[in-house]
Every structure is written in C-alpha cells, then in structure tokens.
C-alpha cells in the first residue's frame, strides 16, 4: 500500500514563501538605506559636534587620570576643541595628534545596532527604546575605552629601539583600522545576539513568522486624536517640530549673518579660503540635514505606519 493521500505536506505554501522572502528583502533594504542615510548625514564635518566635544574632553581627562600628562585637548584646525594630542617623549616629535571626528563618536555603530533592534519583530516601541537606551550607554563606554587604549598602544610601539622614529606609533593606527574594518561589525553582531538571547525577542520573532501568512499590508493612522495618550507618538511630533525650528533658525542665521569672509574667498584659491568656504558650506549642510530629518520623524509620527493583520480586522 502506498502512503495515504491525506498526509499533510511539510512544504511551505508558495504565497507564504514569497511573503517570507519579501520580509527578509525589506529588512536588508532598510538596513542598507539606513547606512547610506547615516553616511549622508555625517558628510559635513563636525555634524555631531556636541558629541565630539564631550568625547574629546572625556578622552583627554580619562587618559590624564590614568597616565598623568599623557594627553592635551586643543582646538582642531576646523575650530572646535576636538583634537587630542597624545604626549610621550618616545613619540616622533613628542606628540601624536588625533581628532575626534563624526565617525569616531560611536554613533555609527549605535545607529546600525538600533536599526537592527527596531526591525526585529518583537516587543513594542517603548520597550525597544528602553533597551536601546541601555545599549547606547554600553556603546558609549566601549567607544571611550577604544579611544583611551590608543595611548598605551602608541607607547608600546615607540618603546626601546623604535623611540623617536617616525611612524613608531603604528600599532595605534593598526588597531584603529581594524576597528573601522572589522571591530565595529563584530561588536554589532555580538551586541544584537546578546540582546536577542537575554530578552524574549526569540519568541516574538517566532510568533511573527507564524503570523506572517495573515499579513495584509501596511496601515496608517494620520489622526492625532491619541496624541495626549500616546507618549511615543507625542514625543516624535514635538521633537521633530522643535528640531525643525532649530534647524531653520540656524540656517538663516548663517545665510543672513556676516558672510564677508566667504564672499572674499569666492575667486581666491588658498588653504585658508578653502577652509573658510568648507566650514561655511558644512554648517549650512548640517542645518539642511537636521531639517530633513525632522520632517522624516514628523511624517512617521503623524501617519503612524503599522502592519495590518487579517486576524486583527473587525
């Protein structure tokens, strides 16, 4: 006798397979778009200036606390106090000048980790943001540790026969390059994996895949009737409005302010003029980016997109 014709097949129905494939594709596409968006956001120099200033100050003070006289905080060529000079008699010229750029703040790693957490189909937004707040503190501390250990790495490279030789601090830059190429990715994967396993995220993902055949599309709620009761939505709306106002004020204060030095450099080619024009264009670029980001946040908080499930329909 052959197998019963009533046996249930273990194969995934084709429509469900298409939904699963589409969900994975959307997740990957959103992550890639987020990466492009972040690169675009930090294109002007010192876009994350408040965070750069804080980290440069903490870096120099922590380094001096551990190794007295090991660092000094000075103004970078772009103006702000974001340059940290590492000091040691074995360094070439006695100093290794370093700079806390937008990429050095650790926000890139936190942004990508946050997107991975927010896109993981589990928990509500309030819980995810609470978890993300804890992750922010951890990433901030890890990034400070990364900056502080640059000093002993440089000293180790310049000790002994290498003392005073140009490039003896190369272990510092080798470590920095490794972190940029691989270290950040390793931290992201480990961080998300730890979060996924110590929380109940696995259960939420399993429920999402089981429920996926009931997905009907994306729903929108443009009504603001629940603004007083929905704290997350209210925070998004008010924050975006405040950010938009701040960016507009910043933009017009620069455009309508004293631009004589920029105008004088219009047809002049020199290092100082290049710096003046670049700083002016970067400042305008930051204001424009903040305004566009505020509009994006406002749009999402206003229309409140969500997934529409068949089993939730009345």
Lowest mean pLDDT among 89-98, 206-215, 253-262: 206-215
CA distances from 102 to 42, 91, 127, 157, 209 (A): 6, 26, 28, 27, 38
DSSP 75: -
148: phi then psi, degrees, rounded to nearest 5: -65, -35
CA distances from 3 to 39, 214, 235 (A): 58, 31, 60
pLDDT class for 64, splitting at 50, 70, 90?
very high
Residue 16 has pLDDT above 70, yes or no: no
**Between vectors from CA 83 to CA 78 and to CA 86, what angle results, nearest 5°?**
150
How far apart (Å, rounded) are the C-alpha atoms in residues 290 and 66?
A: 38
Q: In what order do the strands lie in the sheet with 95-99?
A: 71-74, 83-87, 95-99
Over residues 185-222, the pLDDT tens digits come to 888 888 888 888 888 888 888 887 777 777 777 777 77
Q: Are 276 and 262 in contact (CB under 8 A)?
A: yes
Question: Which one has a higher pLDDT value, 4 or 180?
Answer: 180
Strand spans (E) along the chain: 71-74, 83-87, 95-99, 215-219, 306-309
Lowest mean pLDDT among 44-53, 221-230, 244-253: 221-230
pLDDT class for 228, splitting at 50, 70, 90?
confident
Report which secondary-structure segment, H or E, holds 71. Answer: strand 71-74
pTM of the model: 0.78
Check the CA dihedral 61-78-179-110 and report its sign.
positive
Sketch the domain layout of the chain as residue ranges.
Answer: 12-215, 220-314
Check the CA dihedral 201-202-205-206 and report its sign.
negative
Helix (H, G, I), strand (E, B) or coil at 99: strand
Identify the CA nearest to 254 among candidates 227, 231, 276.
Answer: 276
- DSSP strand pairing (215-219 vs 95-99): unpaired
């Amino acid at each position: 006798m052959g197998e019963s014709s009533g046996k249930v097949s273990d194969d995934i129905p084709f429509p469900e397979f298409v939904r699963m494939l589409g969900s994975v594709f959307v997740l990957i596409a959103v992550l890639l778009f987020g990466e492009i968006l972040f690169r675009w956001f930090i294109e002007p120099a010192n876009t994350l200036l408040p965070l750069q200033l804080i980290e440069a100050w903490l870096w120099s003070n922590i380094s001096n606390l551990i190794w007295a006289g090991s660092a000094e905080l000075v103004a970078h060529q772009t103006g702000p106090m974001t340059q940290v000079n590492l000091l040691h008699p074995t360094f070439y010229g006695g100093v290794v000048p370093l700079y806390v750029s937008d990429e050095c703040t650790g926000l890139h790693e936190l942004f990508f980790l946050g997107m991975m957490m927010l896109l993981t189909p589990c928990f509500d937004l309030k819980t995810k943001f609470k978890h993300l707040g804890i992750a922010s503190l951890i990433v901030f501390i890890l990034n400070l540790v990364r900056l502080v250990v640059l000093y002993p790495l440089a000293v180790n490279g310049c000790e002994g026969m290498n003392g005073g030789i140009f490039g003896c601090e190369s272990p510092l830059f080798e470590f920095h390059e490794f972190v940029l190429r691989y270290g950040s990715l390793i931290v992201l994967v480990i961080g998300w994996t730890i979060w996924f396993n110590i929380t109940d995220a696995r259960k939420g993902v399993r429920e999402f895949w089981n429920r996926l055949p009931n997905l009907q599309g994306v729903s929108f709620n443009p009504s603001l009737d629940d603004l007083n009761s929905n704290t997350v939505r209210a925070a998004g709306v008010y924050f975006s409005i405040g950010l938009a106002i701040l960016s507009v004020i910043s933009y017009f204060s620069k455009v309508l302010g004293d631009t004589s030095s920029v105008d004088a450099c219009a047809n002049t080619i020199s290092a100082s003029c290049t710096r003046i024009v670049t700083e002016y264009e970067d400042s305008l670029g930051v204001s424009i980016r903040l305004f566009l980001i505020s509009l994006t946040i406002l749009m999402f908080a206003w229309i409140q997109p969500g997934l529409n499930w068949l089993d939730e329909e009345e």
